[in-house]
Structure 1
Amino acid sequence: MDSDELKLAAGSYSRRVAEPEAEEDQSPPSIRGRDITLTLRLLSGREVHISINEDATMAELRRYIEKTLALPAHLTRLYLGQDQVNSGYDSTLAQAGIEDEGVLTVVSVASEEFEEVTLEGFGQQLLPARLRKVKLSGACAFWRHYTFRDALLGDKISIRCVKQAFSDEEWAGNLVKEIYLLQHFKHENILKLLDVPPAFEDFNDICIMVEHMDIDLASVLRSSQELTEEHCQYLTYQILRALSYMHSAGVIHHQLKPRVVMVNKNCHVKLTDFLDALPANAVHFDDGDHNRWYRAPELILNQDWTALKLSGACDAWSVGCILAEMYRRKPLLPSRDAITHVQSILKLLGAPREEEREWVTNQKARDFVAGCTLPTSGPDAWTASLGASEAAQDLLRRLVVFDPRRRCTCQEALQESYFQDWSDPEERQLDRSAEPVDWAHLESVTSRDKQRQYVRQECHRRHPEFFEPKT
């Protein structure tokens, strides 16, 4: 979706995030027809009577049946007499031949039909027959993104594909981690894994099905879309909720930036891209020099993760940078390399006191920080030029803090007055993972053979009718 198509009108979104997000019915209530009565008859002989508007679409009927009978829409077939109802998602009941006091036989099937689909730039892939390709929506260094539409419900679905996924052991390990984490996470602000379609016998390519989101936050920030204080609050609130949940599961995102914050028209947020996620307290990891503009100072200056534990503080820093960018409409700390990045941080915040830099154990790094005498307007003055409320400035001064030990956590940030209109005790209960991620299991999937077997077993778990896993 192009950035100029996204319209985040203040007040047009609800506090709660709907799962999944349905295509909205744009017709005015005044033109809706009368309610009609239908009988849903199951093969067991059970009958359920429902009332639904005669102008409802087939998608609305299928959702109603799914909710009433607790039967997944994609595994449900509807019959009028001996004829299966195959009308499209946007067909009205009348167009589908369904009338008042009609009887629909509801048949639940064990598995859905798949068919081979040719994906541009990727090749052949088995996908559910109910999906209709819309377009190739993008490509990056790792994934090719395709948009499909569910012919039963009308929802858009994203297909992410990787060719030669197992050609590199490290890359394959990150893919396994992405799939594992996506299916472990159960939070409304984290992208949902919908399926891992069955793979061919000697597969080397991977496809996954995930929720469709309209656009990423980086595209919004580059656009002419106005962001009000309310927008900034709601977007940041959801990012922090997702991170708070991840941290409770022992997962550090580690590469948070606007590009991995997905947004839809109703301002609902989903975090994605967990290829570089790390376990809390990780000691050995290759941090590289990625995502520099949003990287916390400890990810650049610290070389001893036994003394300073890796924590969610680095994600909290990134949130602060993103929030400041929402007000500035340009990055807070652009830099060309690690050295100029640290210099930009010190110019923004001022030179840290001795006790604020004692966590920097590398002597060369400590001398560099201590020797930086860059002009600054003061540690707190930088927030005044943002045009943000005092509550926003207070939050930024707690997130963008040089010393990670003094930086507020994502959970603490949610309690700030900036979010007083959004904070909900019931939601806070949902921001804790039921169980931590089993990093030991992930770390045991090391060789390419094990990585391929893991994905194959995941396909088998979801689609046992296609193939048996290799032993």
Structure 2
Amino acid sequence: MVVAMREGARHHEMVRLVDPPNGIRNQGKHYYSVSNTLFEIDTKYMPTKPIGKGAYGVVCSSINRETDEKVAIKKVCNIFEDPTNTVDALRTLRELKLLRQMKHENIIVLKDIMMPPNRRTFKDVYLVYELMDTDLRQIIRSGRRLSENHCQCFLFQLLQGLNYLHSANILHRDLKPANLLINDDFDLKICDFGLARTINRMDDEFLTEYVVTRWYRAPELLLSPDTYGTSIDVWSVGCILAELLGRKPIFPGTDALNQLKLIVDVLGTMSDADLGFIDNSNAWQHLKSLPHSPGVAFAELYPNADPLAIDLLQKMLVFDPSKRITVAESLKHPYLSDLYDDNAIPPAVDPIDLGINDEIEEYMIRKLMWKEMLYYHPEVAAK
């Protein structure tokens, strides 16, 4: 998703009002061309400009004419195009189910899901999110100076949101700067939950290596992807913190093996005790075959960083997941002491069970999506 709800991206295409395809206009809908993509949206929404386009959809900023609120509309296109491949549809369904159940100031808000004209044949899904101004990736790449307070503020909000997710038994599994949306007040919200899973789902659907953009992928996912837990998200947060400190990715691997080598180059060659979590003999042998590395001190990589930030980074980027700091411990770290308030950290919420797996068929995905849409349209449900 994720250029998703960013208003600050630069696009030169115009948003144009167009005629409906084949001259057939569905009731309550009007039609726009956005980045050369047809948007069939509710008439209460007025698109203003394109703000993102990627593999999972096209996004535009819009005005809700009933409330004058600015929103972001994401069109997920042709999710049922290939009946033998429901990956995109399942990603969308997971996002719908999770965002409906999660309420936290550091989690993006899904405000609406537009009802399609036909519940049995719809191909596209239109999601309406709160609109944010930019994302952390854009801020890091901009060259804009980031003060220590900025780094602490972004990191603390990320950890607060992640603490909430983990308390609900949810792993995000794809944390990266592009999935952290920021507004002009420096509020941060986590987005893109298409790869999220419940922690207690110990099956093939849950335990998959296809998680986390490679540069932010924890060692256990590279070496022993058959089992993992909340520590994979903590590793990703450590990579994000390093990127804030150095203004570039710390482990920009070109493939999985190169990714592992870059990690060892920085952290140093691991002792056998640090490799006890690896249950794959081939992975263990590969790691032992890498050239010896003494490692590089984080203080040398980031000489201008606050020593407390370095200390927290060292605790997050620990090779053995069992020795990695937790989210709760990170929130209490001295680097964040000025922001931490024990009473302000939300208590554990009720665990969320998605109740879906990769084996469900297209008709059931449609049925579950329609059910999610009805939560936002009680007037339709009442009929």
The bucket for the TM-score relative to the shorter chain is 0.7 to 0.9
Which stretch of structure 1 is more off in the superposition, 155-164 or 399-408?
155-164
1:436 equivalent in alignment to 2:378: no
- Corresponding residue for 1:369? 287
Q: Contact 1:119–1:125 at 8 Å: present in 2 too?
A: no
Identity of aligned residues (%): 30
- Corresponding residue for 1:348? 266
How far did 1:171 drift? 1.9
Q: Contact 2:208–2:225 at 8 Å: present in 1 too?
A: no
Change over 3 Å in CA distance of 1:444–1:346 after alignment to 2? closer
2:356 aligns to what SS in structure 1? helix
Out of 383, 391, 394, the residue aligned to residue 299 of structure 2 is: 383
Map 1:148-159 → 2, pairs under 5 A? 148-151=62-65, 153-159=67-73
Amino acid aligned to 1:300: L
How far did 1:280 drift? 1.3
Q: How far apart, CA to CA, are the structure 2 residues paired with 1:124 and 1:369?
A: 49
1:327 equivalent in alignment to 2:245: yes
Q: How far apart, CA to CA, are the structure 1 residues paired with 2:324 and 2:212?
A: 22
Q: CA RMSD in A?
A: 2.2
How far did 1:283 drift? 4.1
Q: How far apart, CA to CA, are the structure 2 residues paired with 1:266 and 1:124?
A: 30
Q: How far apart, CA to CA, are the structure 2 residues paired with 1:171 and 1:456?
A: 16
Amino acid aligned to 2:257: I
Amino acid aligned to 1:255: D
Out of 138, 152, 162, the residue aligned to residue 243 of structure 1 is: 162
How far did 1:320 drift? 0.6
Question: TM-score, normalization: structure 2?
Answer: 0.86
Amino acid aligned to 2:308: A
Change over 3 Å in CA distance of 1:114–1:420 after alignment to 2? farther
1:140 equivalent in alignment to 2:54: yes
Out of 22, 38, 45, the residue aligned to residue 123 of structure 1 is: 38
1:165 equivalent in alignment to 2:79: yes
Q: Number of residue pairs matched?
A: 351
Q: How far apart, CA to CA, are the structure 1 residues paired with 2:359 and 2:367?
A: 9
Q: Contact 1:383–1:396 at 8 Å: present in 2 too?
A: no
Q: How far apart, CA to CA, are the structure 2 residues paired with 1:445 and 1:460?
A: 24
- Corresponding residue for 1:417? 334
Q: How far apart, CA to CA, are the structure 1 residues paired with 2:275 and 2:301?
A: 26
Structure of greater relative contact order (alpha carbons < 8 Å, 6+ residues apart)? 2
2:323 aligns to what SS in structure 1? coil
Q: Contact 2:243–2:250 at 8 Å: present in 1 too?
A: yes
For the pair shown, which has the larger CA radius of gyration, 1 or 2?
1
Unaligned runs of 5+ in 1: 5-112
Q: Contact 1:303–1:361 at 8 Å: present in 2 too?
A: no
Q: How far apart, CA to CA, are the structure 1 residues paired with 2:379 and 2:183?
A: 35
Amino acid aligned to 2:107: I
Change over 3 Å in CA distance of 1:466–1:351 after alignment to 2? same
1:316 equivalent in alignment to 2:234: yes
Q: How far apart, CA to CA, are the structure 1 residues paired with 2:210 and 2:278?
A: 18
1:427 aligns to what SS in structure 2? coil
Q: How far apart, CA to CA, are the structure 1 residues paired with 2:222 and 2:151?
A: 28
Map 1:276-295 → 2, pairs under 5 A? 276-281=195-200, 282-284=202-204, 285-288=207-210, 291-295=213-217
